[in-house]
Amino acid sequence: MLEISDLDVHYDGVHALRGLSLTLGADEIVTLLGNNGAGKTTTLSAISGLVRPSGGKVVFEDKDITGLAAHKITSQGLVHCPEGRRVFSTMSVHDNLLLGGYLVRDQAEVRKRIDRVYDLLPRLAERRAQQGGTLSGGEQQMLAIGRALVTGPRLLLLDEPSMGLAPLVVAQVMELIADINAAGTAVLLVEQNASAALKIAHRGYVLESGQGTLSGTADSLRSDPRVVEAYLGGA
C-alpha cells in the first residue's frame, strides 16, 4: 500500500531524513520507533504532504504522491492524525467530527461515518454536545482519531497517540488502533511507548538521526537486545 524510497528531507538547515526507505502492506500496523529528534514525525509529515521532501519518492497505492499538497493526499485516503490531538476546543464533539468530513461531498456518507465512530467510541456519543476542550486527555485523543476516521482513511498515520496519557488510557487507545486495523484500515504508528506499540504492530522500523537502522517483525524487535536496551527499559 505504501512504499517510501530513499526519502530525504531538509528544513531549517537540518538534514532531517537521510535516504529513508520503508514499506507498509494494506492489512498492517507498522510502527516507527526512535528517540526524540530521530525523524519519526518528519517521516509522517513528508508522507502526508505537510513537509516537502528534498529527495526520494513516496508511492501510495501505486501512485506517486511525492510533494503533493496535503489536502490532495488526504482526499486519496491517506489521513494524518498529528501529535498533540489538536481538537477544536470551543466546538462540540459532533462538530469536530463533522470537520473530519470536510472533503467528503456526500453528506449522507459523512453521517454514516460519524455513526460508525459513535458505535466504536460510545464515550464520544455520550459527549457529542460537549465542547472538545472540556474532554479528558484520553477522550480528546479518541476524538482526534474519530475525526480522522470520518475522513475515510485507507491508511491512517498516527503520531504519538499515547502521549501524556495514563497507562490504563494508553491501553484503551492501543486497543482502539488494533480494532481500526482489524476493520480494514492500515496504520503507520509513531509511538514513544515502544512496548505498547510493539504489542499491536505487525512490523517496525527503528530510526536514528533520520536514518532507518533496524527493521523486522514486532516479535523480533521486541527480543532484539538493542531495542530492549534503548527503548524497552532493558526489560
Q: What is the pLDDT at residue 102? A: 87
Domains of the chain from N-terminus onward = 2-87+153-231 (3.40.50.300)
Half-sphere exposure (CA, 13 Å, Cβ side) for 9?
29
Q: Residue 32: is its pLDDT beyond 80?
A: yes
Predicted TM-score of the model (pTM): 0.94
Q: What is the pLDDT at residue 180? A: 94
Q: Fill in the amino acid letter for 221.
A: L
pLDDT of 185-209, one tens digit each?
Answer: 999 999 989 999 999 999 999 999 9
All three cell numbers of 38 = 530521530
Contact yes or no for 47/58 (Cβ under 8 A)? yes
Q: CA torsion sign, 193 to 197 to 198 to 199?
A: positive
Q: Which residues face 80 on adjacent strands?
A: 157
Q: Fill in the amino acid letter for 66.
A: T
**Phi and psi of 162, rounded to 5°?**
-95, 0
pLDDT of 37-77, one tens digit each?
Answer: 899 999 999 999 999 999 999 999 999 999 999 999 999 99
Half-sphere exposure (CA, 13 Å, Cβ side) for 67?
7
Q: Which of 223, 231, 229, 225 is nearest to 196 (CA)?
A: 231
All three cell numbers of 74 = 488526504
